[in-house]
């Protein structure tokens, strides 16, 4: 909602604000878009709310229609043909979703996922694997106390770098995985110490050997 009684005051404040900005910013900052703010209040009084008259949705739709053109000698025909195909697909999606298919195997209907080709084992790059492993650890709530403990450990071990945030973060990223593995292992040797099964697997890390399939049915 807009309080009409405050529009005149808003227009005056805009002018004063721009005058203050001219004291601190160079002249190159004040292009036509900056000075356009002066006219916004008057434009609102004359034309009303913006969303009743703006053209951005139509311009975006025109961009989509222009993307349908494949034959530049017949742009109108391309747009009409692609738009008709889009409407037909949308109709099928909305109105034929519950129709039983013909010739589709029952395993696909039941939502069974399975490989369609033989498996080959590939070794993942160690750096990529560590990045993925670290991302999972830092986004797991159960690991957050260990992250804080590791940061304290780094600051204690390297007191000269306590205030260098970038260095501390890089050191944490490069040593946390190995540190967590030894930390969890030591806690397991002390009568489990409340280490969950999930944390044990997270500390052990993923396997570098990854099975690959050329074709896989996902349902």
pLDDT, tens digit (0-9, with 9 covering 90-100), for 119-172: 888 888 888 889 999 999 998 888 999 999 999 999 999 988 888 888 999 999
For the entire predicted model, the pTM comes to 0.46
Query: Which residues sit opposite 114 in a β-bridge?
Result: 217
Asked whether residue 102 is domain-assigned, the answer is no
Contacts of 214 (CB under 8 A, 6+ apart): 116, 117, 118
E-assigned strand segments in the chain: 114-115, 119-123, 209-213, 216-217
pLDDT band with cut points at 50, 70 and 90 for residue 103: low
Residue 111 pLDDT: 60
Structural domain total, the chain: 3
- Tell me which DSSP letter residue 208 carries: S
Q: Do 171 and 202 share a structural domain? A: yes
Separation CA 151–CA 173 (nearest Å)? 10
Asked whether residue 44 is domain-assigned, the answer is yes
Asked whether residue 105 is domain-assigned, the answer is no
Asked whether residue 180 is domain-assigned, the answer is yes
Q: Judge whether residue 90 has pLDDT over 70.
A: yes
Residue 179 pLDDT: 92
Query: CB count, 10 Å around CB of 184?
Result: 20
**Count of all residues that appear for the chain in the document:** 219
Q: Whole domain around residue 131: which residue ranges?
A: 122-211
Q: Do 64 and 35 share a structural domain? A: no
Asked whether residue 114 is domain-assigned, the answer is no
Separation CA 96–CA 90 (nearest Å)? 10
Residue 80 pLDDT: 92
């Amino acid at each position: 909602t807009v309080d009409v009684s405050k529009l005149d005051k808003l227009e005056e404040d805009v002018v004063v604000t721009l005058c203050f900005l001219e004291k601190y910013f160079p002249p190159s900052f004040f292009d036509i878009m900056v000075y356009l703010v002066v006219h916004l209040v008057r434009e609102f009084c004359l034309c009303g709310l913006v969303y009743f008259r703006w053209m951005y949705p139509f311009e975006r739709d025109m961009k989509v229609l222009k993307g349908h053109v494949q034959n530049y000698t017949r742009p109108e025909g391309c747009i009409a043909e692609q738009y008709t195909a889009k409407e037909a697909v949308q109709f099928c999606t909305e109105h034929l979703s519950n129709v039983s298919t013909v010739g589709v195997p029952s395993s696909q209907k039941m939502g069974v996922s399975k490989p369609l080709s033989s498996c080959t084992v590939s070794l993942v790059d160690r750096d990529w694997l560590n990045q993925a492993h670290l991302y999972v650890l830092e986004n797991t709530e159960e690991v957050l106390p260990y992250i804080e403990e590791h940061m304290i450990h780094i600051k204690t071990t390297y007191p000269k770098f306590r205030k260098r945030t970038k260095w501390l973060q890089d050191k944490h990223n490069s040593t946390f995985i190995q540190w967590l593995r030894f930390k969890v292992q030591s806690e397991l040797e002390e009568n489990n110490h409340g280490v969950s099964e999930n944390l044990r697997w997270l500390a052990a890390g993923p396997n570098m050997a990854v099975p690959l399939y050329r074709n896989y049915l996902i349902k």
